[in-house]
């Protein structure tokens, strides 16, 4: 039986066009929870984004893997944190010097501020939508403040994004770099070896769950680590080819609430003491 659901949000549980979890999907989550299945968003987003994405439905957010698993919440409490090294972040900023299309952005989850590092003010304003929408200001250096979420905003295509990522990998081997979305080549920065998959495994072990009691959903590169750790991996139909290839199971599209349909299947089957029907068919 499934006892834990780990679901990516954008383009998986929530369609990227709206970025919100539908009432139908939230009701499915409630049904799963009533059947004894724990639900956790497994997302690259900071915790501050989840309240509006779930329309302030706190019941859906008791357990969360945020910032690609750098923050783990269980029963509403922060139980694990994996911050980024400030010295390494400063080296990343240095590796981007001379590039006029890639900028380090720091997300301070305690205050909701986002700082772009050494981004000219006119450039910031000229590219605010869609690249720097929530950025509050530019700073000359990485501040002496703890950072749990950071990414590089690449103003270009994925070919350019991969070039920037290669340069960052060479300069900062202490970090891993993943693309969290399909629309733009933003690059999320993670402590090497710590990602959604590692966080999901940590959570399952601390909840006393076996691998086959976990089901995970995703669509983009930062979900591959989940699929590598858990055998019940599910790709939506709009997933990238690499994610689709890595998944054991395949369902419909995110904009058709396919994940919500499967969550309801999990709720009913777990209540009956069975594996979900889509895993038996």
- 71-105 pLDDT, tens digit per residue, is 999 999 999 999 999 999 999 999 999 999 999 99
Query: What are 164-194's pLDDT values in tens digits?
Result: 999 999 999 999 999 999 999 999 999 999 9
CATH code of domain 4-81+194-279: 3.40.50.1000
Confidence of residue 110 (pLDDT cuts 50, 70, 90): confident
pLDDT of residue 16: 81
Q: In the CATH hierarchy, which top-level class contains the domain 86-191?
A: alpha beta
Q: Chain-wide mean pLDDT for the chain?
A: 96
Confidence of residue 17 (pLDDT cuts 50, 70, 90): confident
pLDDT of residue 281: 64
Confidence of residue 27 (pLDDT cuts 50, 70, 90): very high
Domain span(s) for CATH 3.40.50.1000 in the chain: 4-81+194-279
pLDDT of residue 47: 94
pLDDT of residue 18: 83
Name the pTM for this structure: 0.96
pLDDT at 10 over 80: yes
Average pLDDT over residues 109-136: 94
Domain span(s) for CATH 3.30.1240.10 in the chain: 86-191
- Render 85-128 in DSSP notation, one character per residue: PHHHHHHHHHHHTT-SSEEEEEEETTTTEEEEES--HHHHHHTH
Confidence of residue 5 (pLDDT cuts 50, 70, 90): very high
CB 215 within 8 A of CB 247: no
Residue 151 Cα distances to 26, 80, 160, 190, angstroms: 29, 20, 15, 9
Report the DSSP pairing between strands 71-74 and 77-81.
antiparallel
pLDDT at 64 over 80: yes
Average pLDDT over residues 35-61: 96
Average pLDDT over residues 247-266: 97
How many C-beta atoms surround the C-beta of residue 220 within 10 A?
22
């Amino acid at each position: 039986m499934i006892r834990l659901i780990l679901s990516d949000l954008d383009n998986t549980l929530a369609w990227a066009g709206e970025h919100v979890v539908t009432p139908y999907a939230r009701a499915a989550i409630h049904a799963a929870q009533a059947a004894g299945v724990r639900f956790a968003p497994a997302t690259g987003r900071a915790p501050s984004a989840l309240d509006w994405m779930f329309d302030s439905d706190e019941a859906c957010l008791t357990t969360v893997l945020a910032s690609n698993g750098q923050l783990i919440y269980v029963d509403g409490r922060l139980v694990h944190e994996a911050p980024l090294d400030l010295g390494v972040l400063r080296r990343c900023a240095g590796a981007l010097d001379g590039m006029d299309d890639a900028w380090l952005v720091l997300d301070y989850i305690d205050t909701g501020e986002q700082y772009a590092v050494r981004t000219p003010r006119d450039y910031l304003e000229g590219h605010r939508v869609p690249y720097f929408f929530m950025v509050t200001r530019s700073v000359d250096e990485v501040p002496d403040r703890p950072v749990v979420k950071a990414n590089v905003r690449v103003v270009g295509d994925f070919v350019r994004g991969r070039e920037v990522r290669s340069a960052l990998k060479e300069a900062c081997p202490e970090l891993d770099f993943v693309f969290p979305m399909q629309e733009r080549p933003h690059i999320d920065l993670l402590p090497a070896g710590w990602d959604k998959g590692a966080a999901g495994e940590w959570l399952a072990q601390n909840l006393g769950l076996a691998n086959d009691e976990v089901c995970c959903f995703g669509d983009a590169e930062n979900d591959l680590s989940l699929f590598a750790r858990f055998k019940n991996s599910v790709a939506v139909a709009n997933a990238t080819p690499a994610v689709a290839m890595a998944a054991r199971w395949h369902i419909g599209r995110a904009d058709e609430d396919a994940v919500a349909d499967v969550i309801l299947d999990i709720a009913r089957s777990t209540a009956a003491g069975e594996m979900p029907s889509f895993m038996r068919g």
